[in-house]
Amino acid sequence: MKLKRKVPVSGLDDFGLSLRELIALKDRMIKVRVHCAYGEQEPLFPFPPDIRRKKMDEVKGDLFLKLRGIWPSKDYTVIGSKKRPGGISGTVRVADIRKFTNKNFVHDIWIEEIEGIRKLKLRKVKSWFAVKAHFAIQIEGQTKGFQEVEERIVIVRAFGCKDAEKILIKAFKKYHDPYLNKYGEMVRWHFEKVVDVYDMNVDTIDPKGTEVFYEFIRRRMKPEYEWHPLKEIKKKKRGV
């Protein structure tokens, strides 16, 4: 019987197996995490937040009951909380995977352990990292006024965040070499510190656009920042 792979099954690469090879193991025991689907959210938009939350809890509960109803044993662990369960973790037979792969109330399946098969020791490979650093523009003898500081983001291929930082700090220190400005003063771009390192989670740079760095900032609310979607929904209903 051909397996319809509608629900993604993740974690197989850790064992060097394809889904077909896994299914062939049949009665082998495996430890899995099966996550419930999220349910449709757009129908909840017209309701206020407190009602939405209540309905979301109801949907999560219903989806969990469906998943629990097809779980092949009574021995399992609930993912999440009792009020808002997100799925089930437990040990099942490989053949039981078929119970979950074609259900619309299942979001994904993660394979954590396979009886008799160890996870592969994966060789480390380089990927892209973005490093944000500060450079002070130091002018000979300056003691007053404002000093310019450049905030620079550089991308580099490395084995990890620490490796990326190590590679670039070595390069950054070369910027210490002084030069003369138009006033005859000595100037240098002094590397001060690495502010942050961001794992881009990509192997290649997409010419159509690749996220290099992001950070969250907090700002004081102003009327022009506000968003009131319920008012917009009500206006549409009235045909305004």
Q: What is the pLDDT of the chain when averaged over all its residues?
A: 91
- Average of per-residue pLDDT across 144-156: 95
Percent of the chain with pLDDT over 90: 72
pLDDT of residue 181: 93
**Cα separation of 92 and 78, whole Å?**
15
In angstroms, how far is the first alpha carbon of the chain from the final one? Answer: 55
User: In the structure encoding, which two tokens stand for residue 73, read together?
Assistant: 């044993």
Q: What is the pLDDT of residues 15-55, one digit of tens each?
A: 999 999 999 999 999 999 999 998 888 999 999 999 999 99
Asked if residues 10 and 112 have their Cβ atoms less than 8 Å apart, the reply is no
Instruction: Fill in the amino acid letter for 191.
Output: F
Query: Where are the chain's structural domains?
Result: 9-114, 127-213
pLDDT digits (tens, 9 = 90+) for 55-112: 999 999 999 999 999 999 889 999 998 888 999 999 999 999 989 998 999 999 999 9
Tens of pLDDT, residues 162-211: 999 999 998 888 778 899 999 999 999 999 999 999 999 888 888 999 99
Residue 18, C-beta contacts closer than 8 angstroms, at least 6 positions apart = 12
Q: Please check the confidence at residue 5 and state whether its pLDDT lies above 70.
A: no
Tell me, which fold does domain 9-114 have in CATH?
Alpha-Beta Plaits (3.30.70)
Give me the mean pLDDT over the 143-162 stretch.
95
